[in-house]
Structure 1
Amino acid sequence: MLKTNLHIAIAHLLTGPFRFSILALLVLFIQGCATPVGIEPVDIQTGYQLNTESALSSGSPSEASKMVLRRNGLMDRFENEPEKVLAELHAELKPTGDEDKLFTLAELSLLHAQKTADHAYFLAAAVYAWSLLFPDDGQTIQFEPSDPRYRLTYDLYNQALAQGLASPEDGATEEVEVQIKPGIYQLPFGALDLSLDRNGLSWGGYNLEHFISTAFLEIRGFRNRYRSPGLGSTLAASISREHLAANIAGANRLGPQTKVPVTLLARFKQARSALATGQIKGQLALYANDQSKSVSVDGHVQPLEIDPTAAYAYRLNDNPLYSMEILNFIRGGLFAGAIPEDRAKDGLFTIYPYRPGKIPLVLVHGTASSPLRWAEMINELEGDPLIREKYQLWVFLYDSANPIAYSAGVLREALENTLNEFDPERKDAALQQMVVIGHSQGGLLTKLTAIDSGDRFWNLISDTPFDKIKVSPDVEALLKRTLFFKPLPFVKRVVFIATPQHGAMAAASEWVRGVVAKLVTLPQTMLRGLAQAAAATGDEKLLAKLRRPPTAADNMNPNNPGLQTLASIPVTAVPAHSIIAVDGDGPKEEGDDGVVAYLSAHIDEAVSEKVVRWNHSCQGQPEVVEEVRRVLLEHLATLSMAIN
């Protein structure tokens, strides 16, 4: 009755005297209303977000999963009854195919697990994703590579696996520690029986432990985060406190704070067909990224997901060496106290275990510094596939207040010790092609690996011929190591970065040198050696050295006879490259980096010289890293030409 009366009223209005005005108002009203179907223009970022959002990127289902929910009338129910909806979708899975629904189950299971912290649903998401990636018939994922779900399925598997095996105590803002152990794990639709391949649990002679997911770590301090997409959960593993066996070459040269980038896989057996029974079997396996870059699954090679930069940043996070650098310069010996008893005591450490066939690249830090200051360069060089394949990075840690010749002797001996440990029979030709790079004072140590000094340094401190003094064998060895230098036959190229070849500006100050001399603690072995030599000869020069033992600051005084002698001996045995920092825009010849003047760093014999506009701490700057990269590639090219 009401409807009939409304129709009569409208008809009366439209036939009355105001019909034209009313019709015009109706037209305007209709034009102002949105149509049931239409569009709304958006900017390019919003458009992309609408088409690519997912459980991983936005915490909402992807459009592909929403389509499955809408088709089945489950959109609203999933919000209110997610577990029932997931169970229904699982029960409706066909024995084969059904990729759309399988993807939806993987994504929505992970989404529900994120909201509830229920690890069973994380593991279910990993199983669903694996079933989609690797069907039982030996084929790979059926999505086209252009389908956004193709890569997203890998990411769902990788992250769901890490979260599914995470420690239950880990909170949203804490590190996610992954528990790698066999056992029966609950699934929403059954159980997961996981075994463990223990072959990947050791690395470089150590057990691996405390596996932290790097997918949930944000890094700072590096320009670039090098990671490669692939299969598996990326982890940073700690090494055990003590190595497993003394006969594993190089175990004692891995740093105590080492974090190993590894990738975790859970290989599920016949997962697609096993979804119907709810009884899934699988095996956990770990792959160290320096040893494996890919794996075979059902006869198909799959690249592993790797995230080495995150593991390296985790290693450097709160590293105690940072806080020791200045204090160690003053007191000496603190670095040695931070090294476990079972590690090498000569200061030479490797980033990764020794790998035959790779050329050693040795980095030597400067004054009041440590190997941590090479972090940016190490990350960049390790991020270069060719350099990573051809070179192995070593670092030298030393007390930088000690006399430069003394530290250089320690470096030389450490290099020889390392080669004897790694390759006692000299079968590895790559070890004989070493490149040594030194920053600041480290450049002076580097130079002393590549020159022939004869007896010039000895003559500066004694008027007695060295072969005429009578000292104990250990003191004789110390003096020879510290004062007599010949090119090391395995060092084939050297690079100097901001090196005070002719002295550092601050070291010219007598006041600065005096303060350093009063503060620093020099090695007793060196002082005892000088005392024994002085007692044996009665040499006044040696006695003067004992009364005022020289420090590295004395050695970098432009007027120091030892430095002047070193500067007078050119590097001719191997190619030498020079990278010089000059702060500011003025003429380089008049400039300096705040510590070293250009004219001090310049050497005529350098086969290349690169000037960068930066301060003294330039070793991590892009121009410096790129010049080092160029030199390393040149070194490879030279070796290739020599072989051919």
Structure 2
Amino acid sequence: MHRSRGSRKTHATRWGRCLGLLGLALLAACSSAVRTDAPAKDDPLMTARRLWHDAAAIQRKDLAARNWMHCALAAYRAADTDNVLRAQEAQAMAGGCTHELMGYLLDQEPAPWRPHTITVVGEPLRVVFRDMPDSLDDGPVALARADEVTLPDVMGQRYISAGYGVSMVGWQPPCHDKPICKLYPPDGVTRALTAWIEPGDDGVPQLVLTGTRKHPEMTIGHRSVPLATDFSAPYAALVDRSHINRMALWGLVGGQQLAMREGLYLLQDYDPSKTPIIMVHGLGRSPLIWARLTNLIDGTPELRARYQVWHVVYPTNTPVLLNRMVVQRMMDRAWHTLDPDGTAPAHQDMVMIGHSMGGVISRLMVSDSSDVVWKAVFDIPPDQLRGKASDIATLDSLFRFQPYTGVNRVIFLATPHLGSPLADSFIGWVARRVVRAHTPELDALERVVAENRAHENPLLALDYASHGLSSISTLSAAQPVSRAAQTLMPAQGVRYYTFAGKLPGANPPGDGIVPLQSALIAGAVSTTVVKDGHQLYLNDEVLAKIVDILRQP
């Protein structure tokens, strides 16, 4: 999650350097204004200044670290004042000294941290975990300074909130001993933390590490002070650890690694009062397509206070209707863990955002199929079919479904609601022969069909024989089951919004993959067409519009 000390110095982010320069400028500007407030010998701010100045001239890092520790401690005491200028300088001094101290300590103790007492040149420093995120428990936590976590270009800009202390990132490997562990990303849990130095009740300096989601402020004396937080670094650290993009492509041709990661994953600790935004990726993709949007939502204070982001991971080689059932199961399992009684406000107010095939899945999640899809497969009802009861029950769930309770809004990005011509092109022909799908549900379908040939839709049988059964074949506008599913619209009361790309010269008009005629459906609250290709999740105009939609009641 972080580099060696030498590499960190070389690659420190520009915003971190600017913040340091700004802090030093503040110190210089404020010193003349505050120096006469108290005698030098009793003035903790004067002490902090001296320790900071002396540390810069010390060659031995351990001795400099001792100065930084005492500097941060003195600055903490100096921050307990109603004098605005003194408080600002003390905060800047505390942040600068703690920042340097953490760099030294992370080099000395790179292993996961836990509450214990360490020494700095023989002097004790007590490590304290306070108000840590529930997902990190009290166990060992790997730490990195947030400004040393590289932000990938795909995430866009870095979102920070200035305040007391030093922004940190904490990481733990995924747990396995509680039901909620299954809702944490397989690459581990990363959370925003803040570190500062304060005196303990017994006079021993304490290095405090705390989560900022539940408690974004700290108290110094009688004042509440906001904590410094980097909202982008935790997700960037998670992205850095993930190899899921490669797994997504491999999964299309039958690789099992992505299937092993299948699930719905929370990016923050669950909050029963916040609206979940459930993001569903498309064909051959992974949740990393949502990096910029996820970062933008978390970096916007109004949205961060109102929403929590959840990512769906599913194998994209299987038929769309099976994907819908898989996503429904994921959501059911998540809510069984998070809110088994179904009373949480979050459970009653969800937003789904789907790109491409993920948009088709999202539309089907809020649709009532009645018998429309079933009749495209069989000409008799389920109770008249021959076969194992469990197989028939599986098909009943696959082809007959109702709107998912609690999903009230859906945002569609470049979604082929009426299929894609690529599925019927030469590229689609090749893809159908490469993309493989094999699941227990498809096995059940084959067994039931084999025992009920006389009642199977003959057009569907011909299509299966010539095109097979996969995600590619079910994106064909001509496929009988797809045609039936295309008629299903979001249920009454569900608000939905459509986004489509239109490339100059594209024939038919569209984003080069999904025609406008397929991406735009009637009844949308708003329709946005941009001059862009299929990857609308990277389009700034689209993202700004999504933010506007999420701001609405």
Using structure 2 for the length normalisation, give the TM-score: 0.86
Corresponding residue number in structure 2 for 1:72: none
Return 5+ residue gaps in structure 2 as ranges: 1-16, 33-38
Pairing partner for 1:536 from 451, 455, 464: 451
Pairing partner for 2:106 from 152, 163, 166: 166
Code of the residue aligned with 1:139 in structure 2: it is: D
Corresponding residue number in structure 2 for 1:30: none
Distance 1:575 1:371 in 2: 23
Count of residue pairs brought into register by the alignment:
524
Corresponding residue number in structure 1 for 2:178: 246
How far apart are residue 441 of structure 1 and its match? 0.5
1:469 corresponds to 2:399: no
Query: Which protein is bigger by CA-based radius of gyration?
Result: 1
> Are 2:502 and 2:516, in contact at CA under 8 Å, matched by a contact in 1?
yes
Pairing partner for 1:582 from 502, 520, 531: 502
Distance 2:18 2:443 in 1: 69
Distance 1:119 1:474 in 2: 68
Distance 2:18 2:406 in 1: 54
> Are 2:112 and 2:141, in contact at CA under 8 Å, matched by a contact in 1?
no
Corresponding residue number in structure 2 for 1:75: none
**Identical-residue share of aligned pairs (%):** 21
1:131 corresponds to 2:74: yes
> Are 1:106 and 1:126, in contact at CA under 8 Å, matched by a contact in 2?
no
Q: Secondary structure at the match of 2:370?
A: coil
Corresponding residue number in structure 2 for 1:486: 402
Q: Give runs of aligned pairs for residues 180-191 of structure 1, distance below 5 A.
A: 181-186=115-120
Corresponding residue number in structure 2 for 1:97: 43
Pairing partner for 2:214 from 291, 298, 302: 291
Pairing partner for 2:545 from 595, 602, 627: 627
1:596 corresponds to 2:514: yes
Corresponding residue number in structure 2 for 1:255: 185
Q: Secondary structure at the match of 1:197?
A: strand
1:216 corresponds to 2:145: no
Which moved further from structure 2: 119-128 or 351-360?
A: 119-128
Q: Give runs of aligned pairs for residues 296-335 of structure 1, distance below 5 A.
A: 296-335=219-258
Deviations 1:258-315 (A, max 9, x none): 3222112332248xxxxxxxx9612233212322211122232121111121221121
Q: Secondary structure at the match of 1:448?
A: helix
Corresponding residue number in structure 2 for 1:118: 61
Q: Secondary structure at the match of 1:632?
A: helix
> Are 1:555 and 1:563, in contact at CA under 8 Å, matched by a contact in 2?
yes
1:495 corresponds to 2:428: no
Distance 1:55 1:365 in 2: 36
Corresponding residue number in structure 2 for 1:57: 21
Code of the residue aligned with 2:222 in structure 1: it is: G
How far apart are residue 536 of structure 1 and its match? 3.1
Corresponding residue number in structure 2 for 1:447: 363
Distance 1:231 1:556 in 2: 52
Deviations 1:307-335 (A, max 9, x none): 12122112112521122222111214321
Distance 2:271 2:27 in 1: 47
Corresponding residue number in structure 2 for 1:607: 525
How far apart are residue 159 of structure 1 and its match? 0.6
Corresponding residue number in structure 1 for 2:6: none
1:522 corresponds to 2:437: yes
Distance 2:252 2:513 in 1: 17
Pairing partner for 1:157 from 70, 83, 97: 97
Corresponding residue number in structure 2 for 1:556: 475
Distance 1:169 1:515 in 2: 53
Code of the residue aligned with 1:129 in structure 2: it is: A
Distance 1:378 1:59 in 2: 30
Q: Give runs of aligned pairs for residues 394-473 of structure 1, distance below 5 A.
A: 394-473=310-389
Q: Secondary structure at the match of 2:167?
A: strand
Q: Secondary structure at the match of 1:185?
A: strand
Q: Secondary structure at the match of 1:502?
A: coil
> Are 1:166 and 1:178, in contact at CA under 8 Å, matched by a contact in 2?
no
Code of the residue aligned with 2:168 in structure 1: it is: L
CA RMSD of aligned residues (A): 3.2
Q: Secondary structure at the match of 1:522?
A: coil
Corresponding residue number in structure 2 for 1:228: 161
Q: Secondary structure at the match of 2:195?
A: strand
Return 5+ residue gaps in structure 1 as ranges: 1-52, 69-92, 171-176, 271-278, 340-344, 638-644
The 1:303–1:616 alpha-carbon spacing in structure 2 relative to 1, beyond 3 Å, is: same
Distance 1:291 1:150 in 2: 25
Distance 1:103 1:246 in 2: 45
Q: Secondary structure at the match of 1:156?
A: helix
Q: Secondary structure at the match of 2:511?
A: coil
Corresponding residue number in structure 2 for 1:144: 85
Code of the residue aligned with 2:501 in structure 1: it is: A
Corresponding residue number in structure 1 for 2:135: 204
The 1:54–1:474 alpha-carbon spacing in structure 2 relative to 1, beyond 3 Å, is: closer
Distance 2:132 2:461 in 1: 56
Corresponding residue number in structure 1 for 2:10: none
Corresponding residue number in structure 1 for 2:265: 349
Distance 2:433 2:276 in 1: 38
Code of the residue aligned with 1:57 in structure 2: it is: L
Which moved further from structure 2: 438-447 or 460-469?
A: 460-469
> Are 1:192 and 1:282, in contact at CA under 8 Å, matched by a contact in 2?
no
Deviations 1:114-137 (A, max 9, x none): xx35133224223223313424xx
Distance 1:195 1:141 in 2: 28
